[in-house]
Amino acid sequence: MEKVRVRFAPSPTGPLHIGGARSALFNYLLAKKYNGQFIVRIEDTDRERSGIEWEENILQSLRWLGLDWDEGIQVGGEYGPYRQMERLDIYKKYTEKLLDSGQAYYCYCSTEELDNERQELSAKNELPRYLGRCRNLTEGQKAEFEAQGRKPVIRFKVPPGERIVVDDMVRGKVSFESDGVGDFIIVKSDGIPIYNYAVVIDDALMEISHVIRGEEHLSNTPRQVLLYQALGIECPHFAHISLILGKDRSKMSKRHGATSVIQYQKEGYLPEALVNFLALLGWSPDGEEEIFTLEELVKEFDMDRVAKNPAVFDMEKLKWVNGVYIRQADTELIARKAMPYLQEKGYLPNDKDIDWKHLTAQIAIAKKYLSTISEVSDFFQQFFGIEVELEDDNAREILQQEQVPDVVEDFKQKLISLTEIEPSAVKKMLKSITKDLNLGGKKVFQPLRVAVTGKTKGPELHELIPVLGVEACIKRVNSILQQAAR
Ligand code: GLU
């Protein structure tokens, strides 16, 4: 593979969303796989919609995901500046060349004139496009427009009758006719370039080898190819990755789950899990395995296995992947991440008063059951709180079985007399109840589970009880039995 230089070039017009993060990831993976450079460039020429807060959000999200870049905004490099609004002089130089060679021209048409042209073409069932009214203005005509106070834009002169073939790494050969394009604006009347123009100059000057981006940009590509040709620069390789759809096959939107990366951070997803999940949106591994660290993804990833058909965003799968990562993660790390959620609900005191040993013991149990860290407060309420509710009628019926009073009494006695409250001792004690009362396991363990937790499912009792402690455990049992008797 030739030298790989790829870039993620977000417009700071909103938070980093799932689709953008996936483009960034694929670029990152390709760069790392081939020892290339991953560059981040800010495309902020849309002045109305761009905001520094969005730039910060995007860069923070990338860093949170672990997609650090080798070159670009914030980190610098030899091809800067990496923010388009700081490159206006560079674009200007190229615009002058295009104007001098007659490949671009000033256009003075008003919005009204352009609207009329578009409507006339639509009425004739033709593609609405600019027909080149200002292509051949004389100096006199220009002066007249200037005198009227009209501010010109600069348009690129699209060569007629050309077939533009984009050899896309994902979609194969896609062709477009230049006749359908129409002379397009490259520089607005305020002197600021349009995306399609600035992107070409930047990708060329930054020596970008591969442009990997969302499918929505495929329709921009013929314009960009024409500009490369006009400037006499070779095109990079293009790869347009498919759209991300919701489970109902409509375009991914808030209805299908959060769309911004920061929201996933807030909801208690682990960055490693989100990265793993994003990689599977469009790329498929060779074998059955689906859990990959970023380093493993670098090894496994290849553009050949990036699919053309749309990727489906499956929230349940993301939760499953996240659960796998939570279970694999260091318990202390999860405890630290769980802290703010627990503090917010009042299940934990201020940082300095936290009993870390106890908290990690609780988290060691909880982490087996969480699919997001934010679920930790519900888990604590259900399994570690004193106020606990009987789950449902099924749970109530279990507690109304005739052997239950004896089982619970024996359990309480034995629990109080235990000298050491640790899992194996509790396990032994629970077993001894079956023997002493001469009952089958089901008649003992099921009601005890409900008596201690209020639920029919959940953590192993012998693991839960030592963490709860004898006193809390007995309080819970008394409260639950009272509820069952009502
Ligand atoms: N600034 C464009 C966007 O955010 C980038 C498109 C491209 O990668 O060329 O959609």
Catalytic choice (3, 254, 299, 308): 254
- Tens digits of residue pLDDT in 325-338: 999 999 999 999 99
Residue 164 tokens read as 């533009």
Strand partners, 16: none
Please provide the DSSP assignment of 68-126 as one string.
--SEETTTB-TT---BGGG-HHHHHHHHHHHHHTTSEEEE---HHHHHHHHHHHHHTT-
Given ligand 1 and candidates 5, 210, 213, 238, which is best to mutate, with the most ligand atoms within 8 Å of its CB? Answer: 213
Query: d(Cα 78, Cα 228) in Å, to the nearest integer?
Result: 22
Q: With a 6 A CB cut-off, is 217 part of the ligand 1 pocket?
A: yes
List alpha helices for 107-161, DSSP H.
111-123, 139-147
Query: Maximum distance among all alpha carbons in the chain?
Result: 110
Residue 100 tokens read as 């001098």
Whether pLDDT at 312 is above 90? yes
- Tens digits of residue pLDDT in 103-157: 999 999 999 999 999 999 999 999 899 999 999 999 999 999 999 999 999 999 9
DSSP type of residue 283: B
- Tens digits of residue pLDDT in 445-463: 999 999 999 999 999 999 9
Q: With a 6 A CB cut-off, is 224 part of the ligand 1 pocket?
A: no
Query: d(Cα 201, Cα 204) in Å, to the nearest integer?
Result: 5
Q: Three-state SS for 246?
A: coil
| Bridge pairing between strands 37-40 and 71-72 | parallel
Q: With a 6 A CB cut-off, is 7 part of the ligand 1 pocket?
A: no
Q: Is 254 a catalytic residue?
A: yes
Whether pLDDT at 1 is above 80? no
Q: How far is the CA of 10 from the centre of ligand 1 (A)?
A: 5
238's enclosing H/E stretch is strand 237-241
- Report all structural domains of the chain as residue ranges with CATH numbers, in order of start: 87-241 (3.40.50.620), 330-375 (no CATH), 393-485 (1.10.10.350)
| For range 169-175, the mean pLDDT | 97
- Residue 191: the pLDDT is 96
